[in-house]
A and B are shown apart, each in its own frame.
Chain A
Amino acid sequence: NAGVTQTPKFQVLKTGQSMTLQCAQDMNHEYMSWYRQDPGMGLRLIHYSVGAGITDQGEVPNGYNVSRSTTEDFPLRLLSAAPSQTSVYFCASSLAGLAGGRADTQYFGPGTRLTVL
């Protein structure tokens, strides 16, 4: 298993450019999510999905779009990049629901460091 993979690892954009951060998992996890990490603020949830065809907003969704056409993939789109979107982005996945009454661990990808000039 590759686990959760993210591409690219690093990206530099100019203000106004668009791009897609890719996330894929091979663990057949229903739940996938995107977080951004900024200094002094921990990780904040951008968007999440509880299964193919279902997405919802998290804490900081503005400026980002997502879709979930397959169980494996959950891309994050920046339609018009802004300097405020300079951050490290993490994708995470887990089994949905409670298996045996225990929370299922969320597995994180290696992150994408994005700089918007």
Chain B
Amino acid sequence: AQTVTQSQPEMSVQEAETVTLSCTYDTSESDYYLFWYKQPPSRQMILVIRQEAYKQQNATENRFSVNFQKAAKSFSLKISDSQLGDAAMYFCAYRSVGLNDYKLSFGAGTTVTVRA
């Protein structure tokens, strides 16, 4: 399985400010998918954003955007205009594009706290 590393166990951000979560991964594949999932206290896993490695353009979903650096194997998530509802654990995940290979490899997660 590919290794996904999230080096920040916890991050804190002031409401309305911006926070960036880091994620690096190890792979020998040239094509793959990357995801950020949000897990609020309810435990539900919610897809935030996804990136296809063959696309150079960084994905964006409203206040969430990524900085995908393929050569560096880096996939950071930026949360702009942070809101109290953004408080959660965030997981970075990797998926191969091989036939019948739909497995997700997850990082250990980053807990985001939003200060009012």
Interfacial residues, chain A to chain B (CB-CB below 8 A): 31, 33, 35, 40-45, 48, 50, 58-59, 88, 90, 92, 94, 96, 98, 102-103, 105-106, 108, 110-111, 113
Contact = CB atoms under 8 A, between A and B. Distances in A.
Given A40-B108, A88-B43, A108-B45, A103 B33 contact: yes
Nearest to A58: B103
Contacts of A110: 42-44
A20 B53 CA distance: 38
Query: SS class of chain A's interface: helix, strand, loop or mixed?
Result: strand
B71 to A, nearest CB: 21
A43 B95 contact: no
Interface in B65-79: none
The 9 closest A-B pairs by CB, nearest first: A42-B106, A108-B45, A103-B33, A43-B106, A111-B43, A42-B108, A31-B102, A50-B100, A105-B47
Contact of B102 (A59, A96, A102, A108): A96
The winner among B42, B95, B102 for most chain A CB atoms within 10 A is B102
B43 A33 contact: no
A50 B102 contact: yes
26 contacts: A33-B103, A35-B104, A40-B9, A40-B108, A41-B108, A42-B91, A42-B108, A43-B45, A43-B91, A45-B103, A48-B103, A58-B103, A88-B43, A92-B45, A92-B104, A94-B102, A96-B100, A96-B102, A102-B52, A103-B33, A103-B50, A103-B52, A105-B47, A108-B44, A110-B43, A111-B44
A105 B91 contact: no
B102 A42 contact: no
Contacts of A59: 1
B102 A106 contact: yes
B82 to A, nearest CB: 23
B100 A105 contact: no
Nearest to A111: B43
A105 B61 CA distance: 15
A105 B50 contact: yes
